[in-house]
Amino acid sequence: MKPHVLVCGGAGYIGAHMCKRLARAGVVPVTFDSLVTGHRNAVQWGPLEIGDLLHPGDLSAVFARYPIQSVLHFAARSLVGESVREPALYLRNNVTGTLNLLDAMRSAGVGKLVFSSTAAVYGNPLYTPIDEAHPAQPINPYGLSKWLAEQQIRAYCEAYGLRAVCLRYFNAAGADADGETGEAHEPETHLIPNIIRAALTPSLGPVKLFGNDYPTPDGTCVRDYIHVEDLAEAHLLALDYMAGQPGFHVFNLGTGQGNSVAEVLAQCQALCAGAPASEVQPRRPGDPATLVASAALAQAALGWTPRHGLDGILRSALRWHQGSGATAATARSTADR
Ligand code: UDP
C-alpha cells in the first residue's frame, strides 16, 4: 500500500502544491479542509475530507478512515491585516485548531508533523538576514497565533515524543510550472497577485503600494519571496528528516534575497508592457519594514536549496493568472463554501 500523509489545508494555495508534489513522490495526500478559504477544485491528487479543525470529531473520523503516517499542517488563517481586526478568529483557528490536531494525532498514534509557520513570528527584525536564533516578538495576531501554535507543538514533542518540524516561510509566491494550481484568494490581499491582476485587468484600477516611508532603501517594505514549489520540496525533505531526528525543529524557508514592493512592481511592469499603474497609500497596520531570511540551517540540515528567484516567481504567477486557472478557481470558490 502507498504511504498516506494527511494534508490539513490541502485545498489551499500552498497545500495544493504540496499534494501534487506528494503524489509525484508516490504518497497519497489525504486533504482535510473546511473549504472556507480553500477551493474544492484545487484537490486533484488524492481524497478530500471536508472538516473543521475546531470539530475534533471531524479529525478523529479521518484518522480512523485512512492509514495516516504523518501530517502536514497548512490549514490556517493567514492575513496580517485581517488578524489585526479579528484576533479572536486567528487565535481560535490557528492555536485551538492546532491543539485539536495534536490531540487527534496523539489519539491515533501518529507521531510526525510538519507545521507551516511564518516569518511573522519574528516581528520587527533586530537584525537581517533573520536566522532561527532571532527572538520571536510577533507584532500582529497572525504572527502571535503561529508562535503559540509552535509552542504547543514543542510541548507535545517534549512530553509525548512527537517529532515535528516547523517551517517558517517568508513570502510564499508563484505558481505551479504546469499551470495546474496557483494563488486564488478572494478577496486577494497579497502583493504579487494584486499586481498581476491589476496589470491584466486595468479596470481594477492602480495597484496600491502600502507605505513609502519605511526605513528601507526606496521607502517601501522589503520581503523575501519564495516560490511555492520550493516550499513544497522543503516539506518533503522535512518528512525524511524526521525519520532520523526525534524532537522539535525549526527552519526558515526563504531565498536570502530581499526585494522591495517597488522593485517587485517594476519587475512585473517589465514583464507586462509597463502595466499596472500604482498609487501610494498609507502603511498597512502590522507590516514590518524588512523581512529577509537566513535559510542556512534548512540548507545544512535538510539539504534544501531554493531553485527559483523573483523572475521565476513572477513569470509562473503571470502564466497562472493568464490561464483559466486563477479565474476559474476564484469563480468556483464562492460556490464551494
Ligand atoms: N502590499 C502592497 N500592496 C498590496 C499588497 C501588499 O503594497 O496590494 C505590500 C504589503 O504592505 C507588504 C508587502 O506588500 O509590505 C507584502 O505583503 P503581502 O500581503 O504580499 O505579504 P505579507 O508580507 O503580509 O505576508
pLDDT in tens, 113-135: 999 999 999 999 999 999 999 99
What pLDDT, on a 0 to 100 scale, did the predictor assign at position 325?
Answer: 56
Pocket test for ligand 1, best of 90, 195, 207, 223 (most atoms within 8 A of CB): 223
What pLDDT, on a 0 to 100 scale, did the predictor assign at position 275?
Answer: 93
Q: For the chain, give the percent of residues with pLDDT over 70.
A: 96
Mean pLDDT score of the chain: 94
> For residue 261, which atom of ligand 1 is closest to its CA?
14
Buried b (16+ CB within 10 A) or exposed e, 88-121: eebbebbbbbbbbbbebbeebebbbbbbbbbbbb
Three-state SS letters, the chain: CCCEEEEECCCCHHHHHHHHHHHHCCCEEEEEECCCCCCHHHCCCCCEEECCCCCHHHHHHHHHHCCEEEEEECCCCCCHHHHHHCHHHHHHHHHHHHHHHHHHHHHHCCCEEEEEEEHHHCCCCCCCCECCCCCCCCCCHHHHHHHHHHHHHHHHHHHHCCEEEEEEECEEECCCCCCCCCCCCCCCCCHHHHHHHHHHCHHHCCEEEECCCCCCCCCCCEECEEEHHHHHHHHHHHHHHHHHCCCEEEEEECCCCCEEHHHHHHHHHHHCCCCCCEEEECCCCCCCCEECECCHHHHHHHCCCCCCCHHHHHHHHHHHHHCHHHHHHHHHHHHHC
Burial of residue 73 (number of CB atoms within 10 Å: 0-12, 13-18, 19+)? buried
For the segment 65-71, the average pLDDT, to the nearest whole number, is 98
What pLDDT, on a 0 to 100 scale, did the predictor assign at position 334?
Answer: 36
Q: For the chain, give the percent of residues with pLDDT over 90.
A: 91
Q: How far apart are CA 201 and CA 98, in angstroms?
A: 38
CB 152 within 8 A of CB 98: yes
Known catalytic membership, residue 225: no
Nearest to 267 by CA among 206, 331, 208, 192: 192
Pocket test for ligand 1, best of 116, 284, 310 (most atoms within 8 A of CB): 284
Q: Residue 168's pLDDT band (boundaries 50, 70, 90)?
A: very high
Q: What is the pTM of this model?
A: 0.95
Q: Residue 331's pLDDT band (boundaries 50, 70, 90)?
A: very low
Q: How far apart are CA 124 and CA 228, in angstroms?
A: 24
Candidates 13, 90, 142, 225; catalytic one: 142
- Residue nearest atom 11 of ligand 1, based on CA coordinates: 210
Backbone φ, ψ for residue 14 (5° rounding): -75, -35
CB 98 within 8 A of CB 54: no
Distance 261 CA to ligand 1 centre (A): 7
Q: Residue 140's pLDDT band (boundaries 50, 70, 90)?
A: very high
What pLDDT, on a 0 to 100 scale, did the predictor assign at position 274?
Answer: 93
- Whether residue 86 is predicted with pLDDT greater than 70 in this model: the reply is yes
What pLDDT, on a 0 to 100 scale, did the predictor assign at position 173?
Answer: 97
Q: How far apart are CA 51 and CA 28, in angstroms?
A: 18
Cell of 39: 477551493
The more confidently predicted of residues 187 and 168 is 168
Using a 6 Å CB cutoff, which residues line ligand 1?
80, 171, 189-191, 194, 207-210, 221, 223, 261, 284, 287
- The pLDDT tens digits of the residues spanning 238-287 come to 999 999 999 999 999 999 999 999 999 999 999 999 999 999 999 998 88
Distance 107 CA to ligand 1 centre (A): 39
- The pLDDT tens digits of the residues spanning 21-47 come to 999 999 999 999 999 999 999 999 999
CB 85 within 8 A of CB 111: no
